[in-house]
Amino acid sequence: MSSIMPTEVPRRSQLSRRHIELGAEFERSGYLLLVKDYGSQTEATQAQILGLVDLSTLPRTGFKGAGAPDWAATQALNLPQQPNTCTVQTDGSLVAKLSHQELLILSDLNGKSASIERLNNTPVDPQTYSLPRADSHCWLAITGSQAAEMFSKICAVDLRSHKFANGEIAQTSVAKANSIVIRNDQGSTHCFYILTDVSSAEFLWDCLLDAMVEYDGRPVGVAALRALV
C-alpha cells in the first residue's frame, strides 16, 4: 500500500475506508487523492469488462437559474443543445445539461480542467446561482462491456447502446438512490458516470459491487480508467 493516506489531504472520498480495506494504492495531485489501483496487474483489462471507479474527489460544480445557460455561454463553454445530454469541452471537462436551467460541470480524469476553478471564481448572472456539487454529490463510474447488463438489475432505465447513446443522461433511481447517470464512453469502452447524494455513497458502492458479482466485476483504480482512452 502507498504511504499516501486519505488522512493526509483536506478532501477525501466518503468511501476511503472501503478503499483501504481493499488494499488501495492512492495517488495525490495537489489537494486531490484518488485510488490509483488496488494492486492488480489486470485492472485495465477488468475495466473493459466491468469495473467500478470512485471519482468523488475530482472537481465538479453546477449552476442553475433562468440566466444560467446564457451566462455559461459567455464563459466559453460549449453547451449541449438539449436537456439530458452532455458535451466534452476542450480542456477535457464535461458539461451536462440537466434541464433548460441547470448545468453540471465535471472535471477530466486528472483533475486538471481549468474551467471549473475559473467558473467557481467568476461572478454569476443575477438570475443564476451556483450549486456545490463537489460537496453534495459523490461521483462513481461503471465501465465495460457488461455495464449495461449489470444496470438492468438495479436501474429502471434501459442503458443498452441502442436505447441510451453516448452523451445521454438519465435522471433516475439506481439501487433505489436518486441518481444522475451520464454515458461518457472512454475510447471504445462503455462508461457510465453516476452521481448521487453523498449520504448514499457507501450504500450505492456496496449495492453496485453486489450487482456486479455475477458478471465478475470488481473495483478498479483511476489508472485503469485513463488507460481506456
| Cell numbers linked to 32 | 486531490
What domains can you pick out in the chain, each with its CATH number? 42-57+135-226 (3.30.1360.120), 64-133 (no CATH)
Structure confidence at residue 11 (pLDDT): 79
Structure confidence at residue 3 (pLDDT): 58
Distances (CA, A) of 129 to 62, 64, 69: 9, 6, 11
Residue entry with cell 477530466: 108
Averaged pLDDT in 10-residue chunks for the chain of 229 residues: 70 92 91 93 97 97 96 94 96 96 97 91 93 95 98 96 98 97 98 97 98 97 96
If we measure between CA atoms, which residue out of 120, 118, 69, 74 comes closest to residue 95?
Answer: 69
Amino acid letter for position 147: A
CA distance 140 to 55: 5
Q: Model pTM?
A: 0.96
Structure confidence at residue 2 (pLDDT): 45
Structure confidence at residue 1 (pLDDT): 42
Q: How many CB atoms lie within 10 A of CB 10?
A: 7
| Cell numbers linked to 61 | 460544480
Structure confidence at residue 7 (pLDDT): 79
Distances (CA, A) of 101 to 66, 95, 175: 6, 13, 27
